[in-house]
Every structure is written in C-alpha cells, then in structure tokens.
Structure 1
C-alpha cells in the first residue's frame, strides 16, 4: 500500500517540477515572473501575494464564530505564506537567494521588491535603448562618423547603469549599415560573433577608405577617358580607348569585403 501511495504521488510532484521556472539571476524578469505566478498557482499559494496579513486584522469586535473562522484562516495563511516565500527563494539564483532571504520576511514584500527593482530596470533599459535601435544611417554622412555617433549613444546608455554587451553593439552597427554596403554587410554577418567593437571599427574604416579610393580612381579614369576622347575627336580619330579602374583590376567576382580581407591578410589580421 505504501508503494502504491508513493507511485500515485510521484507524477504530481514531477508535474510541478516540470513547471518550475528557471532560477532568476537578474535578467528576463517579465518572463520569469510569469512562470513564477503560474508555478505558485499550481502550488495553490499564489493567493498569498494579494491577501492581507490576518495578524493585522483587529479581532476585538469579532463574535466567537467569526473568531474561530479567523483563526483557521490565520493558520492557513501562515502555513501557505511560509511555503510561498520558500518557493520564491528556490526560484532565485544563489546570490539573490542570500540577499532576499535575509532582507524580506514575507513573500508579498519580496515580490513587490523584485517588481520595483527589475520591472523598473527593464522599462528603463527599453527607454534608453530605444534611440540605439531607432537610429538610421544616412547616405550623405560618412558611415564611420555615424558609427561613432552610435557608440556615443551606447556610452550614454551605459552611463545610466544599463548593461549592453559588446556583441549586441556589434550586431546593432552591422544591422544599420546602408543598402550600398549590403555585400560588405553580408560578409560581416558571418563574422559578427568573432568581431569586437575595435575589430569592427577598423574594418569599417578600411572599407570606407577603399570605397573613397575607388571613387577617386573612377573619377580620374572618367576624366582621362573624356579628355582622350576629346583629343581624338579633335584629330578626327574615333578610336576607342578602355581604362581600368581599381575595381576592374580586382579579380573577377570579388566584392569590397573580399578585397578588404586580402588587404588585411597582407598586413596581418586586425
């Protein structure tokens, strides 16, 4: 009979374990909070978060019957409150467990404290991070200069005590590159997990210089071609002369990102 009782109780316990939320360490509070509330509901103690402490209720004017009911309610509240608090603590990281277990003696106070700290922090992060994701690059301004502006926004956000890791910064910069940088952007996407901000900025500067030099060479070639054609027309000679630009001199099929990698390989990787 004992074995039968244990086997029938085990699935319920396992079911509760499967619904237990991840241990909260300071990130993704809203997701964690939603899982915690569902878990506490399954454990039938979620009501403690909204119930009034019966110890604070005045019992002087209660009838004998009301007093008996109140005492039963108070005993249930005390038992469920302790369970709720412990369930909460077991859903926290060791560091947060140590802090909240010594600081708050009730589940309701602990819940309010977590909400005030982490719900507010996430809202603040969204508020300050919004310009980072809304900023768009312009074709009329240097990409490198605009990237520095983006970095200034990041530093302002960090100065507010909000953490933005380097990989997020790298991804944000790559995502905002202009359409005219599309091929170069594709090359960066394959390397974004390996890139640091310093590496990325160096590559952007080299690519910008390559593009600037290409435009300069193309303008020079077009001007030379135009002058040569005019001279031939003046001499009555219609011979056509082809001039190579820097982009023509690159191996066929290579884009600027590939050419830049060739350049980096000759001078050592950044």
Structure 2
C-alpha cells in the first residue's frame, strides 16, 4: 500500500475530482471504506457493562477510521496536511474536503476561462510579454485538466494581438500551414524585433531633422 500511494501525486489544491478517483481506487484495498457510511458503534451508557464484542467493534471502527483518514492525508501536500489533520473523523473530513475543493475547482475553472477570454493585448507593452502571460493562463488550464486544442488556442491568441499588428494578424490567418504555439512565439519575437528597429530608426531620423 505504501508503494502504491507513493506513486500518486500529492494533492496541491487543484483538480480534486481526478485526485479523488485515484485515492478512492487505492483505498478500496484497505477494506475500510465502511467508516464513510457506517456510524461509529455507540458506547454503553454510563454504568452499563460493555461486552467484549462491543469493545472490539468500537476499537475496529476507530482503528479503520484512523488508518483511512491517515492515508487520505498522506496523499496531500504538507501544507494541506497541516490544514486538515485536525478533522475529527474520516466522514467529516472527507465530506468537508469534497465540498471545499469541488466548489473551488469549478469556480477556478470559470475564472481561468473568463481571464483567458477577456484578455486584451495593447500597444503600450511588449507583445512577447503579453503572449507569455496568455501562455501562463493556458498552463493553468492544463493543471485543471482543461485540455484545449492547440490550434484553437493559437487562433484565439492571434485574434488578441493589438490593433497595431493588424497586417501581421492578417498574414498569419491566411497562411496555408498550421502554426504551433512555439512557431507563433518565434514569429511574434521576429516581428517585434523588426518593429523595435523601425521605431528606433524613425526616432533617429526625427532627431536629425
């Protein structure tokens, strides 16, 4: 079990659904998942004697609950382990964790989609810098396992190029060969280098005149 759990990437707070499936698959081998659906056996009322069988059932449930919760916590990053380690029992911990991170995953994905769709490039900053920011958002998509076709991503980024790059955008869109994101980055760097040189040349001409 220790070897199998070591192969699972530590949960860092994103893509909870995928991590949960992997953890659940591993935990079935513990045969202790009943602690999530079966309440803890009640202890005898004060003054009443408990049978050996009752004591064993309580001890078994407590032990399995501890092991089950411990394996889940060990599948989390150190930071999240510290946050959630004080949970009273597995069911309480697991229910609260699912509610928290499934909700955060959903809201996080919506935020990333809106951020990507609403991103606008402008002429006041280097386009390569803005392009890298868009790639950063695209990288967050992958962390959430939101796979977007590279051609669609590239086409969207071209549409976001600033107005000053109108001719460049037109030329790229009418190329017969499909570009990759790496090739697009190379074209943008070359075009920006040309623009910078032309701008410097124009400034020098103005100074002389």
Superposed displacement of residue 173, structure 1: 6.1
Corresponding position of 1:125: 108
Q: Deviations over 1:96-116 (max 9, x none)?
A: 111211x31322222122111
Query: What is the CA–CA distance in structure 2 between the aligned matches of 1:59 and 1:123, rounded to whole Å?
Result: 44
TM-score, normalization by structure 1: 0.47
Equivalent in 14, 33, 41 of residue 46 of structure 1: 33
Corresponding position of 1:168: 137
Q: Relative contact order: is structure 1 or structure 2 higher (C-alpha 8 Å, sep ≥ 6)?
A: 2
Corresponding position of 2:78: 94
Query: What is the CA–CA distance in structure 1 between the aligned matches of 2:92 and 2:177, rounded to whole Å?
Result: 49
Query: What is the CA–CA distance in structure 1 between the aligned matches of 2:134 and 2:81, rounded to whole Å?
Result: 25
Corresponding position of 1:82: 66
Corresponding position of 2:24: 37
Query: What is the CA–CA distance in structure 2 between the aligned matches of 1:185 and 1:25, rounded to whole Å?
Result: 39
Corresponding position of 1:25: 12
Pairwise CA RMSD: 4.2
User: Map of 1:88-167 to 2, 5 A cutoff?
Assistant: 88-101=72-85, 103-130=86-113, 148=120, 167=136
Query: What is the CA–CA distance in structure 2 between the aligned matches of 1:130 and 1:34, rounded to whole Å?
Result: 24
Corresponding position of 1:266: 197
Superposed displacement of residue 24, structure 1: 0.9
Q: Deviations over 1:202-237 (max 9, x none)?
A: x5xxxxxxxxxxxxxxxxxxxxxxxxxxxxxxxxxx
TM-score, normalization by structure 2: 0.58
The unaligned stretches of length 5 or more in structure 2 are: 122-132, 140-149, 160-168, 200-209
Contact 1:81 1:107 in 2 (8 A): yes
Q: Deviations over 1:60-93 (max 9, x none)?
A: 6xxx9x9554332211101111111211221111
Contact 1:48 1:77 in 2 (8 A): yes
Query: What is the CA–CA distance in structure 1 between the aligned matches of 2:65 and 2:33, rounded to whole Å?
Result: 9
Q: Structure 1 residues 267, 108: CA separation in 2 closer, same or farther (over 3 Å shift)?
A: farther
How many residue pairs get aligned? The number is 162
For the residue of structure 1 that corresponds to 2:120, the secondary structure is helix
